[in-house]
Structure 1
């Protein structure tokens, strides 16, 4: 999903800059779900935060009011992430979705491979990709971060995921689309080449890479399963959790 804005956070202020060409003329800015400011026209705005508790969530609602019917878009961003750190093998699990109707039911997850990047299976094509941690935080502010207590296991999982992504790209270069993204319930959780989805990628990386098996209660290994298991596991440490993380059903 292409962004309309760039958000930069500094010690006591935030700069918001429009990077798309959509002719917005009214902006409402929310910090932690509270209206913080309104702006009219322009493409760069500054929001002071020195008189607030450290905000963690920003929403931009932008409108074009000049047409017969108002046009509006909304984007959300995570704040305060500069003080967080990410290590190989960390697992990010979100209960929110870009499709808000699925929030709390599906969620998303990804495997951190270094301080800036992760590997994920986001849906569609490509089925597996390397991307930045920041884009995950921007798209999924309602998430938790877990860290393996064993650095060896974390690095082994990352090595597997990295090689897995390389083999997947090699397959695509040869015209072979394996695996494909699917939640097909008949698939084997241990088979990496028929189907893949976000939390299965995590399961495979730890199972095949680190010989560590994450428990599964039903047919597919959902982000809810991943979150619940990691939260209860003595082998993982909860590093961060947004206060609104919640899965509605046990999948």
Structure 2
């Protein structure tokens, strides 16, 4: 198989760049023979290595044609994780993860994603499609969105209250049959209306607004991940725990 990928290993990620001319490919990345991540289109993506054990590892990257499913190329690599590479981070209720990258790398910096930490292992998020709200692991967020920032409320009580609301909100959503709210960026619904439309950063806004009686400021009609990122970065009520060096939003939304 032809080697068409250039790898750059950084502190806790591997940056992968391809020389393939077309962007119409999907990339499957396997670490130690287990599927690690899938990246749709784009010519650059990142693999999170922060959760891997110390020592040597094997990486296989396989590219397929997006439309036909035909195998384009596959390449094998060897890399090592050392104690200095491992990102030791704690996660507390109310922590906020804001990513400027997307599963579809072609839109990185334009939309982004965000999630609310509810315990040391889980987030509640609105990732799109159905169900509109779900609880998932922090690890899957880190794998899908390595280019992110991690913020923490200075008030532990506020963080716990926001996380508590998110848990309650998710339970009510399930009790309602998971039909409402639906995932949408529609501006016809008020930001403080939890039951018509929902999206990732609105879920965080609602959790702090109703759970912790704390209003995150919004500059335009919809409260985007870019708004969340800049709001938290400027706030005296939150601190930055971690920031990937490539976090960047293209537009002020």
**Structure 2 length normalisation: TM-score?**
0.72
1:147 aligns with 2:148: no
Q: How far apart, CA to CA, are the structure 1 residues paired with 2:143 and 2:134?
A: 17
Q: CA deviation at 1:190?
A: 0.1
Deviations 1:64-123 (A, max 9, x none): 8xxxx643589xxxx855511111100000000011222101000000011110000000
Which residue, out of 218, 226, 229, partners 2:228?
226
1:137 is aligned, of 134, 137, 142, to 142
For residues 202 and 245 of structure 1, what CA distance do their matches in structure 2 show?
A: 19
Distance 1:200-1:70 versus aligned 2 partners, 3 A rule: same
RMSD of aligned alpha carbons: 3.2
Are the structure 2 counterparts of residues 193 and 34 from structure 1 closer, same or farther at C-alpha, using a change threshold of 3 Å?
closer
Q: Counterpart in 2 of 1:71? A: 72
Gap change, CA 1:205 and 1:62, over 3 Å in 2: same
Residue 202 (1) aligns with residue 207 (2):
no
5+ residue gaps, structure 1, are: 1-23, 36-41, 46-54
Query: Partner of 2:247 in structure 1?
Result: 245
The equivalent of 1:235 in structure 2 is: 237
> How far did 1:157 drift?
0.2
C-alpha contact 1:25 1:63 (8 A) present in aligned 2 = no
* Secondary structure class of the residue paired with 1:83: coil
User: After the TM superposition, which residues 30-41 of structure 1 pair with which residues of structure 2 at under 5 Å, given as runs?
Assistant: 30=7, 31=9, 32-33=14-15
How far is the alpha carbon of 1:44 from its aligned partner? 4.0
1:50 corresponds in structure 2 to: none
Unaligned runs of at least 5 residues, structure 2: 18-29, 34-45, 50-58, 65-69, 76-80
Assess if the C-alpha contact under 8 Å between 1:91 and 1:145 holds in 2: yes
CA contact (8 A) 1:27 1:62 kept: no
Q: Which residue of 2 aligns with 1:109?
A: 114
The C-alpha deviation readout for 1:8-30, integer Å capped at 9, x for no partner, is xxxxxxxxxxxxxxxx9989683
SS of structure 1 residue aligned to 2:242: strand
Whether contact under 8 Å (1:27, 1:61) holds in the other structure is no
Provide the rounded CA distance (Å) in 2 between the counterparts of 1:205 and 1:148. Answer: 13
- Residues 190/240 of structure 1: CA separation in 2 closer, same or farther (3 Å cut): same
SS of 2:249's equivalent in the other structure is: coil
Residues of 2 paired with 1:70 and 1:207: CA distance? Answer: 48
Q: How far apart are the structure 1 equivalents of 2:151 and 2:74?
A: 32
Change over 3 Å in CA distance of 1:149–1:217 after alignment to 2: same
Cα distance in 1, alignment partners of residues 31 and 138 from structure 2? 26
